[in-house]
Amino acid sequence: MIAPLIGMFFVLRRYSMITDTISHLSLAGVALGLVLGIHPLVSAVVVSLIASVGVDRIRSSTKIYGDSILAILLSSSLAVAVLLMGMIKGIRVDIASFLFGSIITVSYSDLIVMAIFALIVLCTMVLFYKEFVFITFDEDSAFVSGIPTKLLNMVFIAMAAFTVAIAIPVVGVLLISALSVIPVIIALSFQKRFITTIWIAQGIALFSVIFGIVFSFYANTATGATIVIVTMVILILRYVQNKIKRILS
């Protein structure tokens, strides 16, 4: 429910790659948490927050293109994660569960951490919903109107970091961007009001997760990958439907 909510704003602002970058950063955070003996989701959020704020500062203070910074972080954070996990001795680490998600490995402590982060994200999005919408469609006008756009952008990136941490146990760091972007793209194709589009995206994501979990259980497939495949199938069906409508009209 939360991933497409955050993804809606990122897609409209053409920041879709940021969720992918944050997910790779969170993997480095997971590895750091395992090395230091900290809860992986907590360390993932901390590392993602620090790195995300750093990216925002670098993009605003240097001439480096934003996509170049994201590309550098994508590769370097993955390299750091692999190095850190290689340092872990005496502990069996199922890297695949962090990369692609595994619903059966979700512990009670994971659920508690996920619930806390989810509550923080939902409350923040409700509290600053109008401001986020304003900034998404016209950031310059929002700034002139007195809205603290820089501060809210940092808050929004923090919410993205929380969302990635929530999704790690279920879909994994490599697939969270798909769950944030694909349902949003499908929902936007219906060309409805903004809030209606958000509900459609959340409905598609929720259906994909539930159906993907059930299907993966009986088919004995990877949960995260199955969920993403379900969203892709819905996207293809929607594309075909629109093509048929255009032909008939």
pLDDT tens digits for range 41-69: 788 888 878 877 776 666 666 555 556 77
Per-residue pLDDT at 95: 64
Instruction: Check whether 216 has a pLDDT greater than 70.
Output: yes
Instruction: Check whether 175 has a pLDDT greater than 70.
Output: yes
Residues whose CB is less than 8 angstroms from the CB of residue 100 and which lie 6 or more positions away in sequence, other chains included: 171, 172, 174, 175, 222, 223, 224, 225
Per-residue pLDDT at 205: 92
**Cα within 13 Å of Cα(28), Cβ side:** 20
Q: What percent of the chain has pLDDT over 70?
A: 87
Instruction: Check whether 21 has a pLDDT greater than 80.
Output: no
Per-residue pLDDT at 200: 94
**Residue-range domains of the chain with CATH:** 2-175 (1.10.3470.10)
Tokens matching residue 230: 């379900």
Measure the CA–CA gap between 44 and 38, rounded to whole angstroms: 10
Q: What percent of the chain has pLDDT over 90?
A: 16
Handedness of CA 140, 141, 145, 147 (dihedral sign): negative
Per residue in 183-213, pLDDT (tens digit) is 999 999 998 898 999 999 999 999 998 999 8
Per-residue pLDDT at 24: 78
Q: What is the mean pLDDT of residues 7-29?
A: 80
- Indicate the SS3 state at residue 156: helix
Instruction: Give the CA dihedral 10, 205, 113, 86, nearest 10 degrees.
Output: -80
Q: What is the mean pLDDT of residues 83-112?
A: 69
Measure the CA–CA gap between 29 and 13, rounded to whole angstroms: 26
Instruction: Check whether 90 has a pLDDT greater than 60.
Output: no
